[in-house]
Structure 1
Amino acid sequence: MSAITEKTPDDGRSTRWDEHRATRRRDLARAARKAVHLHGTDISMDEIAAHAGTSKSIMYRYFTDKTGLQQAVSEEVMQQIRDALETAAHTATTPREALRNMVSAYLEMIEHSPNVYYFVTRDASGLPFLDLMIDLLATPFAQEMNAPDADARAWGAGAVGFVRGTGEWWLHHLGGNDIPTRPELTDRITTWLWSGPISTLVRQRTTS
């Protein structure tokens, strides 16, 4: 005769604790993001904890170390930029407009909070963010060229490198002489990616 195992009714306390922990972790990550935005990427865990109104030991309880916190902040930023890029892509009426809208959304993000951007992209924890951009930027290329998925992702990877490099150069030189505004740079990047920078610049010189 098999033994009968008595089950304890689930009173929901475990589920409520999991939900509370997830909410608390998200709130701490958002507080950390604001602290980084205000004080820079080299802010210490003590300073982040003070900004969040808690202790460093509590931060470690939820994130283990600063890398874990960085990953949590990255998740928050990724969700926000995912929403912005997807909205930019889906509200466009042409593939080129989708590309332009996504470039604009990216430049707006890095201009709004350079500290947070560098905090989440300066090492391997930023790779999911870059993968997301590759997927989204590959979409208008695939739509226009009817390209195989591998070709679209290869183009998307190259486009992300180009947009990221150009955007970070622009961010570093903002306020200098002859540095384009964000809308101007958005138009230039879009044209360069769509038509190719060399052929575009050559045409501009020969017609000027």
Structure 2
Amino acid sequence: MGNAAVKRDTIAARRAGGVPQERARRRQAIVEAAVRVIEEHGTDTALGTVADRAGLPRPHVYRHFTGKDDLDQAVARHAARLVSDWIRPSLSAAGSPPEVVHGVIGRVLSWAVAHPNLYRFRARLGTAHAVPEITEAAVANLRAAGHQAHLPAYVVASVVGMVDAGILWWFDHRDEVGPAQLNDWLAAQVWRVVAEVTA
């Protein structure tokens, strides 16, 4: 095969890689590889390790992400979706608002225990990804219980941050308090904040 034919094949391959669906698939594969590396090795992962896990040369990662920060944000959004999917059933569970809050935090805590490195990673990059869905579900639950429906996003962001901070602290101090006690305390504090806003 001549040089011109090789060049045409290379251009065709690059164009095929530029198809939106294919680019999205490859991007997602890189994110999932990063998740596996974080789960196994912790939050400080090198881009080269992620590329190796994805089966790609490191320069190919840069075709889909502008750099480590861009990849980190994509991984954080992916982790936030995983947490949301896990807690979604408890957001619409039967029970009083305090009971629902307790159940939601229990689900978050159980996910964090199963995925401590990924939880640390998501929490480190902020709470913004979780706020809209939790706000919508909380407002629906509060309305059903006869409370005022307005729940500012900054309040939800604050209580999500408090739960994250409590769980991150607990990861390093498990001998000082059990998960059930932590769940009870966090749920009580979150409900105090929410109840004051919706009274």
Q: Please classify the TM superposition score into its range, dividing by the shorter chain length.
A: 0.7 to 0.9
Count of residues in Structure 1 that have an aligned counterpart in Structure 2: 177
Q: Does the aligned pair in 2 maintain the 1:138–1:153 contact within 8 Å? A: no
Q: Does the aligned pair in 2 maintain the 1:100–1:186 contact within 8 Å? A: yes
Match of 1:67 among 69, 73, 85: 69
Task: Give me the whole-angstrom Cα distance separating, in 2, the residues matched to 1:109 and 1:132.
Answer: 19
Greater relative contact order: 1 or 2 (C-alpha under 8 angstroms, separation 6 or more)?
A: 2
Q: Does the aligned pair in 1 maintain the 2:39–2:118 contact within 8 Å? A: yes
One-letter identity of the residue aligned with 1:188 = W
Check 1:137–1:163 CA distance in 2 against 1; reply closer, same or farther (3 A cut): farther
Task: Give me the whole-angstrom Cα distance separating, in 2, the residues matched to 1:28 and 1:122.
Answer: 20
Could you say which residue in structure 2 is the equivalent of 1:173? 173
Q: Which structure has the larger Rg over C-alpha atoms?
A: 1
**Map 1:4-15 → 2, pairs under 5 A:** none
Task: Give me the whole-angstrom Cα distance separating, in 1, the residues matched to 2:144 and 2:165.
Answer: 25
Q: Which moved more, 1:30-39 or 1:91-100?
A: 91-100
**Map 1:111-126 → 2, pairs under 5 A:** 111-123=113-125, 126=126
Check 1:179–1:156 CA distance in 2 against 1; reply closer, same or farther (3 A cut): same
Q: Does the aligned pair in 2 maintain the 1:134–1:153 contact within 8 Å? A: no
One-letter identity of the residue aligned with 1:119 = F
Could you say which residue in structure 2 is the equivalent of 1:206? none
Task: Give me the whole-angstrom Cα distance separating, in 1, the residues matched to 2:169 and 2:111.
Answer: 15
Q: Secondary structure at the match of 1:64?
A: coil
Alignment RMSD (CA, Å): 2.7
Instruction: After superposition, give the CA deviation of every residue in 1:116-149 in whole Å (9 maximum; x if it has no partner).
Output: 12223324xx342353476267434565562352
Could you say which residue in structure 2 is the equivalent of 1:101? 103
Calculate the TM-score normalised by the size of structure 2: 0.74
Check 1:50–1:42 CA distance in 2 against 1; reply closer, same or farther (3 A cut): same
Could you say which residue in structure 2 is the equivalent of 1:6? none
Task: Give me the whole-angstrom Cα distance separating, in 2, the residues matched to 1:163 and 1:120.
Answer: 13
Match of 1:34 among 8, 33, 36: 36
How far residue 173 of structure 1 moved from its aligned partner, in angstroms, is: 1.1
Instruction: After superposition, give the CA deviation of every residue in 1:49-103 in whole Å (9 maximum; x if it has no partner).
Output: 1122211111111112111111111221122222222211113333222211210
Q: Secondary structure at the match of 1:191?
A: helix
Check 1:103–1:64 CA distance in 2 against 1; reply closer, same or farther (3 A cut): same
Q: Does the aligned pair in 2 maintain the 1:137–1:156 contact within 8 Å? A: no
Q: Does the aligned pair in 2 maintain the 1:91–1:98 contact within 8 Å? A: yes
Could you say which residue in structure 1 is the equivalent of 2:156? 156
Q: Secondary structure at the match of 2:62?
A: helix
Task: Give me the whole-angstrom Cα distance separating, in 1, the residues matched to 2:133 and 2:177.
Answer: 25
Q: Percent identity among equivalent residues?
A: 26
Q: Does the aligned pair in 2 maintain the 1:110–1:171 contact within 8 Å? A: no
Task: Give me the whole-angstrom Cα distance separating, in 2, the residues matched to 1:141 and 1:152.
Answer: 13
Task: Give me the whole-angstrom Cα distance separating, in 1, the residues matched to 2:128 and 2:120.
Answer: 14
Q: Does the aligned pair in 1 maintain the 2:112–2:119 contact within 8 Å? A: yes
